[in-house]
Amino acid sequence: MTILTNAEIFVDGELKKLDIALEEDKICALGRNLEGEQRIDCSGKIVLPGLIDVHVHARDLKQSHKEDWESLGRAAIAGGVTTVFAMPNTDPPLDTVERVRDYRRRAQASKINAKVYGAITLGNYKNLEQIAPHVDAFKLYLGETTGHLSVSDKKLHREIFKSVTQTEKILTVHAQRGGDPQDVTRHEADDICYVLDLAAAYKTKLHIAHVTTQRAVEAILEAKRSKVDVSFETCPHYLYFTAKDRESRGAWLKMNPPLATEEDREFLWWALQEGLIDMIATDHAPHTIEEKIVGYAKAPAGVPGIEFLLPLLFDAVNASKLSLGRLVEVCCTNPARRFGLTHKGEIAVGRDADLVVIDPDREKTITRKDVGSRCGWSPYEGLTLRGWPVMVFVGGLKRNPPCAALSNERQN
């Protein structure tokens, strides 16, 4: 039995000075002065549930030069993430039972909890019931993205929503159409209203990926009031960057959907703190430096992000832009509840021993040499953040994030 002692533990919505006992892959006790074979002193640290990122591109297969499961796991641990949902627009795509099974085997190299989406394509939309037992959710692309899996026929959309409803799986939708960045931002709310109407008509469990604008958030909130079964996410890059940043940094901030306005960014921060946003997911979409330096027009869309998820958000907690309770809700509790991870998302006896131990005062500037993702760069380079993971437990097994070994960061 392993005992974490002298930390502040986020339990029942607040920090409490308690010990945590871990046995095998579960939390077996919470209390004071617990006894066990191994004791780990966490004085001055905060312990949260392991983060759950429901939107990650693990790549691998024919795109392992961008990322593979081993490097994705390393990056996830650095960001305090213990569970990921891997998107299916791989090469080849995860659109058959055989490919999904193979991808799950590959995911074991990550040493984290790996969930897998099934791709909905023109070739398999009639056979979703065969794939459903092997996937954790389905993904439908209505806009063009890496992998060319978009489905544009509106008649097929109705059939797809109906079929997914019958599987009882969540359908995550990339609703935003492509085009000029300003146009994509302008019509995002209309695109999202279209899928909300389909979900209402077919009673589909809908999750909307990477929402960027105030109008889109307001449309989703209105749908919720009308009892549409919908959740949604936004991403850290929409909280930290805007279209003006894209103008100055070019392909390094090219993503799909594109960055929105400063007004939208400010609204997202407000909505996040007010409890209006369900989840933060990274849309970790690694492409190599060589693929990004070819210029905006030719570069692929997408930025890496998973390994700085917790530092980015905990820095916001330290800056009083976000409460610790909201961080846990959008990165742990809400994803677990929505995606049926009944043993994850909170610290309680009997729950999975997926934990992240944070030094709230550790301060570090992100540099390229620190990037663990195989892509080798980060859009957050140069940011100085306070609050970093120093220990991570996945199923009770201790994993050391890179920050645990740092000795040259400034302590406050």
Q: What is the pLDDT of residues 210-262, one digit of tens each?
A: 999 999 999 999 999 999 999 999 999 999 999 999 999 999 999 999 999 99
The distance from CA 233 to its chain's CA centroid, rounded to whole angstroms, is 9
Q: What integer pLDDT is reported at residue 339 of this predicted model?
A: 98
Q: What integer pLDDT is reported at residue 147 of this predicted model?
A: 65
Domain limit, last residue, from 303, 338, 373: 338
Amino acid 3 reads: I
Q: Of 69, 126, 127, nearest to 98 (Cα)?
A: 127
Residue 122 in any domain: the answer is yes
Domain limit, last residue, from 338, 364, 396: 338
225 and 367 share one domain: no
Question: What sign results for the dihedral spanned by CA atoms 361, 362, 366, 372?
Answer: negative
| Strand 397-399 with 384-394, pairing | antiparallel
Number of domains into which the chain is organized: 2
147 and 70 share one domain: yes
Residue 26 in any domain: the answer is yes
283 and 306 share one domain: yes
SS percent in the chain: helix, strand, coil, step 5? 35, 25, 40
Q: How far apart are the first and last CA of the chain?
A: 33
220 and 312 share one domain: yes
Catalytic residues: 283
**pLDDT tens track, the chain, 412 positions:** 999 999 999 999 999 999 999 999 999 999 999 998 899 999 999 999 999 999 999 999 999 999 999 999 999 999 999 999 999 999 999 999 999 999 999 999 999 999 999 999 999 999 999 999 999 999 999 977 776 789 999 999 999 999 999 999 999 999 998 889 999 999 999 999 999 999 999 999 999 999 999 999 999 999 999 999 999 999 999 999 999 999 999 999 999 999 999 999 999 999 999 999 999 999 999 999 999 999 999 999 999 999 999 999 999 999 999 999 999 999 999 999 999 999 999 999 999 999 999 999 999 999 999 899 999 999 999 999 999 999 999 999 999 887 765 433 433 3
Q: What integer pLDDT is reported at residue 407 of this predicted model?
A: 37
Residue 286 in any domain: the answer is yes
Residue 292 in any domain: the answer is yes
1 neighbors 37 (Cβ within 8 angstroms):
yes
371 and 297 share one domain: no
310 and 360 share one domain: no
376 and 239 share one domain: no
Q: What integer pLDDT is reported at residue 404 of this predicted model?
A: 63
Q: What integer pLDDT is reported at residue 400 of this predicted model?
A: 86
- Looking at residue 333, which CATH number applies to its domain? 3.20.20.140
- Looking at residue 396, which CATH number applies to its domain? 2.30.40.10
Residue 396: φ, ψ to 5°: 85, -10
Environment class of residue 382 by beta-carbon count within 10 Å: exposed (0-12), middle (13-18) or buried (19+)?
A: exposed
356 and 325 share one domain: no
294 and 395 share one domain: no
* Cα distances (Å, whole numbers) of residue 279 to 110, 329, 394: 23, 8, 21
Residue 344 in any domain: the answer is no
Q: What is the pLDDT of residues 165-197, one digit of tens each?
A: 999 999 999 999 888 999 999 999 999 999 999
113 and 138 share one domain: yes
Give dist(CA 310, CA 203) in Å, integer. Answer: 34
Domain limit, last residue, from 338, 360, 381: 338
378 neighbors 362 (Cβ within 8 angstroms):
no
134 and 281 share one domain: yes
Residue 74 in any domain: the answer is yes
31 and 55 share one domain: no
Structural domain boundaries enclosing 363: 2-48+349-411
Residue 65 in any domain: the answer is yes
Residue 343 in any domain: the answer is no
